[in-house]
């Protein structure tokens, strides 16, 4: 086998992140790096037991999105494991505060959301940029949401999520900035769909649905397809709905 494909996914302890990790673990000749906050959970134990394909391995690192030190510690652990480049980074980890409307949202919740959903991915990029630069066709993928689209606020009613939506809009801005400042890198912001997670089902009920229409598996498979097909020329600098492949307005 040739050199393995190195994929780094943040937030693999549950939900979309865990499903993404399993998809890549099922591919031969991959190294899957996953960040977690709590190694003692049942979901992490299940991920460790997942049968990896031939030549594929899992490396878990600890990153709390509120920490300024964790990304650098994770980088050191990754390098100590003999990994000298990263082909794909999927900035998936994020936070979802208590749902409070604009008139009542607190400064604390707003700043906390910006810290986790915007500042933390930026620090991740700053830390791991040198390893991306050593890859032959590196990709930086930000898992965003249509709730972060300024153009969609009136269309989907995302004004009910001020802290979450505003912080993801900031993530989108940073993602575009990464695209324009790094011509060697493929950079994509992805809307994963309205997914059957706790927060996704809550949003679905607010718009009259019993549950979110997209399963975690469907979302993760769609995300991976976009990543596989992404190129600097055709995809970079776009905000894409992973499930149907359409562009989302910024």
Q: Which of 14, 96, 139, 168 is catalytic?
A: 168
Whether 77 is catalytic: no
Question: Choosing from 164, 206, 225, 238, which is the catalytic residue?
Answer: 164
CB proximity list for 3: less than 8 A, separation 6 or greater: none
User: What does the chain look like in DSSP terms, one character per residue?
Assistant: --PPEEEEES-TTSHHHHHHHHHHHTSSSEEEEEEES-TTSHHHHHHHHS-PPTT-EEEEEE--TT-SSHHHHHHHHHHHTT----SEEEE----------TTT--HHHHHHHHIIIIIHHHHHHHHHHHHHHTSSS-EEEEE--GGG-GGGHHHHTGGG-HHHHHHHHHHHHHHHHHHHH-TTSEEEEEE--SBSSHHHHHHHHHTT-SS-SB-HHHHHHHHHHHHHH--TTTTTTEEEETTT-PBPP-
- Asked if 168 is an active-site residue, the reply is yes
* Residues belonging to the active site: 164, 168
């Amino acid at each position: 086998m040739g050199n393995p494909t190195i994929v780094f996914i943040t937030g693999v302890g549950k939900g979309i992140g865990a499903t993404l990790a399993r998809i890549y673990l099922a591919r031969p000749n991959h190294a899957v790096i996953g960040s977690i906050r709590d190694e003692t959970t049942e979901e992490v134990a299940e991920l460790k037991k997942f049968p990896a394909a031939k030549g594929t391995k899992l490396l878990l690192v600890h990153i709390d999105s509120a920490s300024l030190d964790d990304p650098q510690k994770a980088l050191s652990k990754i390098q100590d494991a003999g990994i000298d480049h990263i082909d794909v980074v999927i900035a998936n980890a994020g936070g979802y505060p208590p749902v409070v409307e604009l008139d009542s949202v607190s400064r604390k919740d707003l700043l906390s959301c910006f810290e986790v959903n915007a500042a933390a991915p930026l620090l991740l990029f700053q830390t791991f940029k040198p390893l991306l630069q050593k890859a032959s066709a590196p990709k930086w993928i930000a898992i965003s949401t249509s709730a972060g689209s300024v153009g969609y606020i009136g269309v989907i009613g995302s004004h009910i999520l001020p802290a979450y939506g505003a912080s993801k809009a900031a993530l989108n801005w940073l993602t575009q900035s990464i695209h324009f400042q790094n011509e060697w890198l493929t950079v994509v912001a992805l809307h994963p769909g309205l997914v059957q997670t706790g927060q996704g089902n809550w949003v679905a009920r607010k718009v009259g649905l019993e549950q979110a229409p997209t399963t975690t598996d469907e979302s993760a498979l769609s995300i991976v397809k976009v990543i596989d097909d992404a190129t600097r020329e055709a995809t970079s600098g776009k905000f894409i709905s992973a499930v149907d492949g359409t562009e989302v307005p910024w």
